[in-house]
Amino acid sequence: MCGIIGYIGGRNASQIVLGGLENLEYRGYDSVGMAVTDPARDGTDIRRAVGEVSELTEEYDIIALDGTTGIGHTRWATHGSVSEHNAHPHTCCTERVSIVHNGIIKNYEEIAERLESHEFSSETDSEVIAHFLGEQLRNGTSLHDAIQQFAVQAEGTYAVVAVDTETGELFGFKHGSPLAVGIGDDEYFIGSDVHAFGEHTQDVVFLEDNDYVILDLDGPAFHHTEDGPVEKEITTVDESAVGNGKGDYDHHMLKEIHEQPDALYRLQESLNRSQHEKVERFVELLQENNKVLFTAAGTSYHATLLGVYYLQKAGIEAQTLISSEFQNYERVDEDTLLIAVSQSGETRDTLDAIEYSQERGAEIASIVNMPHSAIQRESTVSLEIQAGKEVAVAATKTFSNTVLTLLHLAVAAGYDGQIGNISEHMRSVIQENEPRIQELAAELADEDDMYVIGRGSTYPVSREIALKLKEVPYIHAEGMMGGELKHGTLALIEDGTPVFALVPEEDDEIVSNVHEVEARGGNVIHISPYYGDFDIPEDRDAFPLYATTLGFLLSYHLGRERGCPIDKPRNLAKTVTVR
């Protein structure tokens, strides 16, 4: 979940690393730090602060740090409290090695016990990496052997970037957490993903598990802990995938909501043209396998619930399971198609579900936003949702584009659905309804409990809207099937309790559930083409997208009314790369 960045070259490393940290802050913002050094001098300058990247720049003159090699880290806390001494980078006792780490070292206490002569200064699992490497190098072990020894002894997941102040080398190694190397003109970058350095180069090498790289000014040397030196392919990534900036918007979340029409149009063009052959192959796999099973987490899981609904309409039996519980509730075999859905393509629990399924002979397909991601690389066929970079922790345009991808697949597989001019309809939904959403947010800003009810295709929407109400304005919200109200939740409905009813058709069964709420004094807000205050197209198959977007806007404006940190909700991070 943390973000890591490294640089070696001829420029001011502190400036490069600082920019990379700002680009990676969506991965964690509990604390931040960097280390800068130069082969021409001894020692390393380390600066750390609690909070966001801005806290580091307010406390220190970062750009004044002298050095052409640097590493940086923005933290999402797992082991140890949020404090400056737990912030990265961590350094070994001799100060020769400084490291930044994303992941979890499960057996760090055992490794620390074997380093009994070392003095630890933090509560983190990560610090043991610096001391382990420092001990190995102090004893005359080569850097290659030190990394290989760590790979043998460490249990868990890790992506590590480190600097050796004695040689001036930058090095990185990984297992289970993502790490990418950027190839520039006589300068080199390494980071959690291409966002870390995308403004400097789009030429990237993606490391696989147990790969490691040693970087100096002569270029990268790639190795595998068991196989020795390896050749790696350089991939040129699409610049649109690494774009940044809020433009004229106050928050990334609002910008990304408003980007949905263009993102949907771009996706439709891609599915009909450049990705058409992959769509056909995807449909073949859907029809060839006896069992179709989705796995995903969070917002992507809610999208797969809609995918199940659409595929069932196409006559394809499908199910979905949350990735973190995959092994507890499902059994797969060689007749199973597992469809992994992840906006980042790096979600740890989803990768675990893939590995579990591969061991049992299942075919793997995927739907991702990030090209060349780990999940895509494990797939027989993979569709890219073309949403572009999404910075806000609360996923919006990636949800809409994932749902459209699933609807497109279902139609290609035989579902008599109507996609229509969804991008222009979405533009109209946003423009026509945002003023009313703003008014509604002001009316409901003091409410701490809300409910969202749906049926059929709108049940997943109710779950997704409730998630956003929790993530952004910190409101307790429950999204549920309307038919389940009477089985417990109705007891919580009091005078004025806000209940959002998703009503896609005039005679929808949800109307009877609305009457149940009204009879108990609940404040029913209809999201419907037929009832209430919103202007929504009469488009049955795309209604889930329009309704969810209204939920996105409501969550955003409620967050503003309640003074919440909209793009960076407390305790959350964008990309979940730990179990």
Measure the CA dihedral 147/153/158/164, to 10°.
-30
Continuous segment of H or E residues that includes residue 549: helix 543-561
Q: What is the DSSP letter of 333?
A: -
Distance CA 310, CA 292 (A): 13
HEC sequence for 416-429? CCCCCCHHHHHHHH
Which of 515, 554, 549 minimizes the C-alpha distance to 531?
Answer: 515
CA-CA distance, 259 to 265, in Å (whole number)? Answer: 10
CA distances from 10 to 27, 39, 66, 167, 344 (A): 28, 11, 12, 16, 31
Give 302's contacts (C-beta < 8 A, 6+ positions apart).
399, 460, 461, 463, 464, 467
CA distance 401 to 390: 12
- 488's CB contacts (< 8 A; 6+ apart) are none
Q: What are the structure tokens assigned to 141, written together?
A: 């072990």
Active-site residue 574, yes or no?
Answer: yes
- Which of these, 461, 443, 439, lies nearest to 508 by C-alpha position? 461
Q: What is the chain's percent helix, strand, coil content, to nearest 5?
A: 40, 25, 40
Token code pair at residue 98? 């400084």
Residue 180 is inside which H or E element, if any?
Answer: strand 180-183
Query: H-type helices in 201-251, by residue range?
Result: none
- The token duo for 440 is 């509604």
State both tokens at 527: 């999201």
* Cross-strand bridge partners of residue 403: none
Provide φ and ψ at 449, rounded to 5°. Answer: -135, 130
Residue 134 in tokens: 């420092």
β pairing state of 498-502 and 449-454: parallel
* Backbone φ and ψ of 42, nearest 5°: -90, 150
Contacts (Cβ under 8 Å, ≥6 apart) of 204: 180, 181, 182, 183, 194, 234, 235, 236, 237, 372
| Catalytic residue (one of 2, 174, 389, 470) | 2
Residue tagged active-site, from 174, 397, 470, 574: 574
HSE at residue 7, side-chain half, CA atoms within 13 A, is: 30
Q: What DSSP element (H or E) covers 74?
A: strand 69-75
Known active-site residue 93: no
Coil, helix or strand for 408? helix
Burial (CB < 10 A; 0-12, 13-18, 19+), residue 417, is: middle
**Contact by Cβ (8 Å): 221, 190:** no
User: Exposed/middle/buried for 331, CB within 10 Å: 0-12, 13-18, 19+?
Assistant: exposed
Which of the residues are catalytic? 2, 574
